[in-house]
Amino acid sequence: MADSAQTNGSFQRTISAIVQDKPGVLARISGLFRRRGFNIASLAVGRSETPGLSRMTFVVEGPDEVVRHVAAQLDRLIDVVSVHDITEQNIVWRELALIKVTADPNARREILELVNIFRVNVIDIGAESLTVEISGGRQKIDSFIELVRKFGLEEVIRTGRVATLRGTLIEGEDDGLFQSDASKPTYILPVISGESGSV
Amino acid sequence: MTKHLTGSQIVCEALLKEGVSVVFGIPGGAILPLYGVLSKYPNLRHILCRHEQGAAHAADGYARSTGTVGVAFATSGPGATNLITGLATAMMDSVPMVAITGQVGRAAIGTDAFQEADITGATLPVTKHNYLVMRADDLGATIHEAFHIARTGRPGPVLIDVPKDVFMELGAYDPDAPVDLPGYHVPGKAEESQVEAAAKLINEAERPVILAGHGVVLSRSFDELRELAEKAQIPVVTTLLGISSFPENHVLSTGFPGMHGMAYASLAIDQADLIINFGSRFDDRIVGDAKRFSTESKKIHVDIDPAEINKTIHVEAPVVGNIKDVFAQLIPKVKQTTHVEWLQHVEHLKAEHPSLRIPETDRLMGQHVVKALSDVTKGDAIITTGVGQHQMWAAQHYQFTNANSWLSSGGAGTMGYEVPSAIGAQVGNPDKLVWSICGDGGFQMTMMELATAAENDLPVKYAILNNNHLGMITQWQGFFYNGDYQAETYTRNPDFVKLAEAYGIKGIRVTKQDELESAIAAANAHDGPVIVDFVIEKVDDLYPMIPAGQSVQELIEDPN
């Protein structure tokens, strides 16, 4: 399914967990992944809609059966209330990135065109640089980064993925590559599978 | 009704409420406030051990032999880290334990204070759960949670770390507050559809084998196992830790399989068309090469822990639930049958591959010692062991007829388990005969606990199978390292009889086969701890053997 793209011979899987909002929970969870020797490609943690409970969304890379087994072991942790491997479910997800691009006056116009096409927000502008906020799927963010790389990437700060099951019954192809009406064929860009950050 | 007590008092009251009557431990600075109130709680018997590892293994032996939660106390820093081997041993074998450790005062945590160790961090992978309790108000509820977690579901050790000043702080304790753990569910009955699927496979099978694991022992499902096996006439293979879940003098008893198990047990599993696994985790010592494990059989896996299903071996019929409940669901659905041909074939395997041949020699061998122990005690002792050749000889040659009479470190393979676990078993079973079958290597890892046995008048009998060698190491270096023997010989073992005398306990030395029975009988008759130093043949390889990662095709039966 969408975005279980193969990297380094293994697949990325998205796991969503509801956990108790207590100290040490992340250490218990990350210990299980560490023990099986795989990387958490992205991680997002935040308080959930229920007081006392947090939601964690992981993207992990590893052989399917090992990831499934670790998910089962996660569920065994006392502080973990529920775990779901939602990779193959009908989900929507987003990541957020803040990208600081070198932007001298000559380049600024071209960058702003890309900003419009991608419907991202400029959140800071200086004499020599420009910072944008982009949210969407990994591929959209990767594509934007690749396109602005030639101007000079000063900083890329990416969050982990947050995901939720769709409320609609539509089996959409929306992987967050583009938002709303911007998804016209002409905007489909080559997907570059960049390395995501490690946690 | 809420009471206002010090943290130390809350610990003691909560332990008593959990039914604890014995604690194994050693004091130290950070836990002294707790020891300071013990005299006010005479119903909490404290057994002073000589090393925290010993305290942990004693609590483990107590827990395994009684089916209740074993409790250990240790202080901060090295006291707590010394528990880790004992916690890991209990974790691997799913033994219910609660360890309470002192911690440096709250203000000093994280400052590298004297005797500080991050014990909750260090024990994360070797406990089912752990806690650092920062308020006396939380202590009572935490202890009740810890016991609930330790004893329910798949049991395991839980550690509670308590800063010194929390023991001294006044806190509120409501003994009747309910345990609230939204992330913890205790499986009971299995889903009916899973039981139906399992029953269908059992009723259709022509060559079924039951593989009875530690889960049968932990859930105390001995009668149910026997009822199912007899109803459908299914041979019962136990795992190493499943030993004593099924009487070994029963006609359906088919030994234990795997690396050093009986050849006929491994062959029966290999030739079966259905494996019915109750509470075994398809450990690598049984499975070997997973790709070649019992390839012709379908598998049913009954386990309380869903994370064990399909972990190493793919199964056609998973059944997740408490084994005792699953037996009750399953037995009425299983048809009464006889598998005459298959049982005849299994009997044929037993005859063709005896595996338990006692060496015909005048010299004293490990097998002779265990056989004599089995004969003299009529299989009626609680046996604890360490890890190595002596453990396998004990598993092979002692005929276990009583339920839950075998305590051994199966998963962790902890040498040194034998000495303190026997103390725990004796404390929990004061009227039973407890024999600890030891190697001279493992015995010396925890022999300081002899003082604990002597001090508490615990009549544990220690049988040292003394060959001045790490026997299994010698065997592996011979088999797999071209006979390049390194660090396998103990040239300066102590005189174990004099050692016994030094501790004020009885010591007996046996060097000949014809001394065996009288020495064992004398040890049994002595009202106190005994060491019997069985001076056995220097080097003797252990068979049968399936080398690690291999299958039954590579089984070496006995070249002699």
| Cis upstream peptide for B459 (omega within 30°) | no
The ipTM, to two decimals, is: 0.86
Q: What is the mean pLDDT of residues B516-536?
A: 98
Give me the percent of chain B exceeding a pLDDT of 70: 100
Q: Return the pLDDT at A199.
A: 26
Q: What is the mean pLDDT of residues A56-61?
A: 88
Superfamily name and number for A6-85: ACT domain (3.30.70.260)
B305 touches chain A (CB under 8 A): yes
DSSP designation for B555: -
Q: Return the pLDDT at B356.
A: 80
Restricting to B residues 126-165, those with a Cβ less than 8 Å away from any Cβ of A are 128-129, 132, 149
- Cβ separation of B306 and A75 shorter than 8 Å? yes
Q: Return the pLDDT at B90.
A: 98
A105 has a pLDDT exceeding 90: no
Residue B312 buriedness (CB in 10 A; 0-12 / 13-18 / 19+): middle
B7 has a pLDDT exceeding 80: yes
A53 has a pLDDT exceeding 90: yes
Give me the percent of chain A exceeding a pLDDT of 70: 79
A79 has a pLDDT exceeding 80: yes
User: Counting every residue, how long is chain B?
Assistant: 560
| Cα B137 to Cα B30: distance, rounded to the nearest angstrom | 19
Q: For B3-173, CATH number?
A: 3.40.50.970
Q: Which fold has domain B192-352?
A: Rossmann fold (3.40.50)
Domain ranges within chain A, ordered by starting residue: 6-85, 91-187
Q: Return the pLDDT at B71.
A: 98
Q: Return the pLDDT at B168.
A: 98
Whether domain A91-187 has CATH 3.40.50.20: the reply is: no
B361 has a pLDDT exceeding 50: yes
In chain B, which residues fall in CATH 3.40.50.1220? 192-352
- Enumerate the residues of chain B whose CB falls inside 8 A of the CB of residue A78: 128-129, 149, 181, 183-184
Q: What is the mean pLDDT of residues B318-330?
A: 98
Sign of CA dihedral B71, B505, B534, B248: negative
Name the pLDDT band for A184 (thresholds 50, 70, 90): very low
Of B124, B307, B311, the CB nearest to A28: B124
B178 touches chain A (CB under 8 A): no
Q: What is the pLDDT of residues B451-492, one digit of tens each?
A: 999 999 999 999 999 999 999 999 999 999 999 999 999 999
Q: What is the mean pLDDT of residues B166-185?
A: 95
Q: What is the token pair recorded at B322?
A: 């408490």
pTM, two decimal places? 0.91
Q: Return the pLDDT at A168.
A: 65
Domains A6-85 and A91-187 share a fold: yes
Q: How far apart are the first and last CA of chain A?
A: 24
| DSSP codes joined into one string, B441-486 | HHHHHHGGGHHHHHHTT---EEEEEE-SB-HHHHHHHHHHSTT---
CATH class of B366-535: alpha beta
What three-state secondary structure class fits B10?
helix
Q: Return the pLDDT at A10.
A: 56
B183 has a pLDDT exceeding 80: yes
